[in-house]
Structure 1
């Protein structure tokens, strides 16, 4: 009998240190690829792509075909959850997402849920998993409740998340109810992704770094722990990667108290410090600076080798500290992979 094909990503998430480590890149399916830009021009708006499961499947697979990454990550957006909760969602060209009504001015109860939006995403997962080679992992994802709340309250992204932080202080009961609602929606949404074929999940908390330590404990760690425990009860073998961007010295507590399977590290955090302050069995993901990838050349090679030296013998998934920049040359991604795999 032939031995089943193993996914390097899933082996790493189970605690095995591989050399070279497996690799995928945040936002690997997107605007830096000419094949993505061509399909975007054909289909029109970003949401047209996300809710067209055939197009979203194709976009998810594009970087796998071109680069042979060890994992595909679902092409979607963290704002699908507020859209399904009843906010109107649009993407203004050159301005980013817009949600209305913004919850700084409206109540959660005034929204009419539209959970049919999830179905297209789950359909994409099914199609990708069917088309993907067995050794390639498929990652589903969602935004973590605090980060999703920042968009729902302000109606758009912001530099300091001021509207959301003010609500959390001035009207904690209302804000806690919002976090609770997002948490429950996220559990159901991610469960649907696993049932459709996702091999692992990732929680993006892109704005967690804007919170005080006590706010981080209440609004990042507590809801994330609830999501992880709920999903693990239903899917005990599905790993969950947590990404508390900007957490800094709070990252070890996040990993310990949420129970995530792996901790993703942003580029501003000292990777050697994280290694020293987390259990050696905890898989880490990251944390190459996206600007080093954009720069390419010797700077990229040096950064990559520094990270690999720090992570030697540790379960590690090579990734960026945040999403790939849209103007990153394809040749630099090829350089990264050639250096990694030829080491």
Structure 2
């Protein structure tokens, strides 16, 4: 059967808009919580092919999305490079922060694929189990976003330590970005070789940067990753997501050469249609909190997005991921709304 989502990414949209949702596998689903409760730590969960594949498949069974996105975490990459990563309940991710060259010297690509190999096994399992019409999406975090965690040692609101290293110790900061470019490209290529049909690069914290640094720390590393992937897998679509990047989004698209780009909730739809969708396929940008409320307002906004973007390549998605308090029945209504829409 044809893969509607993959065809759309390749510039061949059909009469129905394909859809998937960021964080479609997650805590809002009771069946996810049941599986998660059987694993001691979140990193162990990510490295368990049986459990990671199961939770990836759960929303597909419930809602029939056109895309299944691999269940993993963006911090698998620094973990694979040798940085200690763990999750604390109520506090999120923690890492042994890189503050100087000593911390960087502990990183290595030497054992990377051995450390993260179970993620590739998850992809192989998913490829075998998914229906032939469902597009399997791999993913990774972008170097800037992953670097913020590696340098801060945790999540951050302003990414001050990462920005200050970039300004005050640019040589060390560039070394971190460079090893992340190499590791991320290899990681995504390995996902493709295991069966991923397309991949997405998440740059969740790109909004923290001024224009000059956005060029250097967001666009340039993404260009390098795209080039490395295309050297091995020329036909595989690549999706970019420089979240909250605003008016620089068209430049990101033209310079990186991605096949599609995700739109965060704040992107004006008509502007995106006229300035971005005329270049590449777009995804997004329903507010995830509208799905918490559900009802007529959610449906009306979904129709507005579908109508505004129906003239070009469009994959329905959210402006960011589902939040844990999302009622599953609202996701069912949203999925039905999208499925019933025709261009």
**Offset at 1:112?**
5.7
Output the CA distance in 1 between the equivalents of 2:38 and 2:103: 37
Structure-2 residue corresponding to 1:294: 292
Structure-2 residue corresponding to 1:190: 188
Structure-2 residue corresponding to 1:315: 313
Structure-2 residue corresponding to 1:131: 129
Query: Contact 2:4/2:13 (CA < 8 Å) preserved in 1?
Result: no
Query: Contact 1:281/1:315 (CA < 8 Å) preserved in 2?
Result: no
Structure-2 residue corresponding to 1:236: 234
Structure-2 residue corresponding to 1:73: 69
Deviates more, 1:42-51 or 1:252-261: 42-51
Is it true that 1:167 corresponds to 2:165 in the alignment? yes
Query: Contact 1:286/1:319 (CA < 8 Å) preserved in 2?
Result: yes
Query: Contact 2:83/2:106 (CA < 8 Å) preserved in 1?
Result: no
1:141 is paired with a residue of what secondary structure?
strand
- Of 98, 104, 109, 1:103 maps to 98
- CA offsets per residue over residues 192-242 of structure 1, 9 Å max, x none? 101100000000000001000000000000010111111011101110000
Query: Contact 1:18/1:316 (CA < 8 Å) preserved in 2?
Result: no
Structure 2's unaligned 5+ residue stretches are none
- CA offsets per residue over residues 256-283 of structure 1, 9 Å max, x none? 1000010111001112112111252510
**Offset at 1:302?**
1.3
Is it true that 1:12 corresponds to 2:8 in the alignment? yes
- Of 259, 262, 273, 1:261 maps to 259
Output the CA distance in 1 between the equivalents of 2:10 and 2:108: 40
Structure-2 residue corresponding to 1:249: 247
1:142 is paired with a residue of what secondary structure?
strand
**CA-atom RMSD in angstroms:** 1.2
Query: Contact 1:281/1:314 (CA < 8 Å) preserved in 2?
Result: no
Output the CA distance in 2 between the equivalents of 1:271 and 1:225: 26
1:42 is paired with a residue of what secondary structure?
coil
2:65 is paired with a residue of what secondary structure?
coil
Deviates more, 1:137-146 or 1:13-22: 13-22
2:140 is paired with a residue of what secondary structure?
strand
Query: Contact 1:202/1:241 (CA < 8 Å) preserved in 2?
Result: yes
- Of 262, 272, 275, 1:274 maps to 272
Query: Contact 2:201/2:241 (CA < 8 Å) preserved in 1?
Result: yes
Output the CA distance in 2 between the equivalents of 1:118 and 1:127: 15
TM-score of the aligned structures, taking structure 2 as reference length: 0.96
Deviates more, 1:158-167 or 1:42-51: 42-51
Structure-1 residue corresponding to 2:49: 53
Structure-1 residue corresponding to 2:155: 157
1:322 is paired with a residue of what secondary structure?
coil
Output the CA distance in 1 between the equivalents of 2:246 and 2:28: 29
TM-score of the aligned structures, taking structure 1 as reference length: 0.96
Query: Contact 1:50/1:75 (CA < 8 Å) preserved in 2?
Result: yes
Query: Contact 1:15/1:281 (CA < 8 Å) preserved in 2?
Result: no
**Offset at 1:184?**
0.5
- CA offsets per residue over residues 19-40 of structure 1, 9 Å max, x none? 3310000000111110110011
